[in-house]
Chain A
Amino acid sequence: MSTTRQFRAAVIIGYMLSITWLRRNLMSLVWLFATPFSLLFIITVTTGGRSFVLGVIGSLLLVLSTVGTGIAGDATWYRLETKLQDFFVASPVSQIGYLLGIAFAGLFFASPALVVLLPLLVYVGFPILALPIALLSLAGVWLFSSAIGYLVSTFTSNLRNGWQSGLLLSVIVGILPPVFYPAEILPHNILLVTYAIPTTNAALLIRDAMGTAPTLPYWSPLTGWFLIAVSLAIALAVTSRVARWRQH
């Protein structure tokens, strides 16, 4: 199948695994709203509203990284329990088409939360004209998280481990890096390590567009974009080479 047809297949798989699901089961939205909005609430209350902006940025990034890393559990379920992956392995759909399909499903699941959080980001001072910057960096986080979530799923031998792996990845990508708190409070060495995670760079780029980014060692917007691009390229390359695309 051509690239265009793989993309069409990905959108259809995404629709199949999200919109059709959501139309009949709205309860599925709860988990996506629960953690980011709980954190936003706690951060806002405990700081007397001073960290509300960081909370909104962190929630946005957490939603998109969670739907990506959550693929570690979802794709394990599709592979081991429903055997849906087997149907697509024996079809013209490529591994990247399938991965993108599951990633789209996550994005569609996330869209109600994004509909709330993106206007909120603008409300707290993000310039509308700079929205492409936010969207592009968020897309980088979503794709990176989806690629590593999928990669992990292909090596997971039981469903429970799949969900646990997704949760662990979500903490590593969406909670530990400086997305809900200011990067400038981190010790120098740890800060340098967090540069390797796209969520750190996306958060800094969004803050930069709002004019609130701190001066940090070895970091500039250009470096931020470069690091997101490199980490995404590595994640996709490793996934397409290492992930197992076969009947279980």
Chain B
Amino acid sequence: MSVLGHDARDEPFQIRSKIAVVPQEGGTIGPLTPWDHIYLTLLARGMSRSNARERAEKTIGQLELKQYRNQPADSLSGGLRQRVRVAMAVATDAELIFLDEPTLGLDAVSRRRIWGVLNQIQKEGRSILLTTHYIDEAEILSNEVAVIDHGRKVLSGSPAELLRNVKERVRVDIVGSTFAPEELNSYGRVVRLAERFRVLTDEQRGRELADEAMKRGSDVSLARVSLEDMFVDLVGRDEE
């Protein structure tokens, strides 16, 4: 197996200097500050002081950690600590960054901040291998997606390619349905999600159903099918 042009078995050191990782569910180190974590990790990787300082400053700015820069990590919230851990990897000059569930347990704002930085890394021409259970995250960030089920790759391709595996084009979510089950079934495939009914169908029937639901006073939304619908369809674990 080759990674970044190097044989993984024979040239591990050449590969290691070009990669970085954010492991899943780790912590920060007690009283060390975000600055200590990021700057000293860069120095240990062999960067010069000026380069490490510059990259640490830039990443702290990108991840909006400036006001926490000199606070002990053990006084920060879980979301801020996770941002520090992400910063330790993205601040490096690694060509390939492995991110294992980088936004696990984060609020929506923190997730989007991290997405913004990952997007920036992509623009710099660096590669990211992201492992996530959040399908929307994979859909938004990825050029290539591989679906793993029970440790085996079951499908891969671009998000657009993967969506072609779903027969239906749109989904209509109806909350507090005033429709009889048979009536909904006549519009398309129905999936029950707690108090919500999701109908997967084609565009025209989707619009018809949405119009009808609005007439009947139901809360309704119409959207194109997502990778999450594809994933649930593929691995068959929905609450149908």
Contacts and interface: CB of A to CB of B under 8 A. Distances in A.
A94 interface: yes
B88 A87 contact: yes
Interface stretch (A49-57, A78-86, A149-157, A227-235): A78-86
Which of A12, A17, A81 has the most chain B CB atoms closer than 10 A to its own CB? Answer: A12
Contacts of B94: 90
Given A87-B88, A92-B13, A94-B13, A24 B31 contact: yes
Interface of A: 1, 5, 8-9, 12-13, 15-17, 20-21, 24-25, 81-84, 86-94, 101, 247-248
27 contacts: A9-B44, A9-B45, A13-B40, A13-B44, A15-B40, A16-B40, A16-B44, A17-B29, A21-B31, A21-B32, A25-B30, A82-B28, A83-B24, A83-B26, A83-B27, A86-B26, A87-B41, A89-B21, A90-B98, A91-B17, A91-B20, A91-B44, A91-B45, A92-B17, A93-B45, A94-B13, A248-B23
A88 B43 CA distance: 12
B19 interface: yes
A187 to B, nearest CB: 46
Nearest to A92: B17
Interface residues of B, number: 29
Contacts of A84: 26, 29
A11 to B, nearest CB: 9
Given A21-B32, A87-B41, A87-B88, A81 B26 contact: yes
A90 B98 CA distance: 9
Contacts of B125: none
- The SS class assigned to the A binding surface is helix
Interface of B: 13, 16-17, 19-21, 23-32, 36, 40-41, 43-46, 72, 88-89, 92, 94, 98
Nearest to B25: A83
Nearest to A16: B40
Contact of A21 (B21, B23, B30): B30
Contacts of B23: 83, 86-87, 247-248
Nearest to A2: B46
Which 8 residue pairs spanning A and B have beta carbons closest together? A83-B26, A24-B31, A90-B21, A92-B17, A86-B23, A83-B23, A16-B40, A12-B44
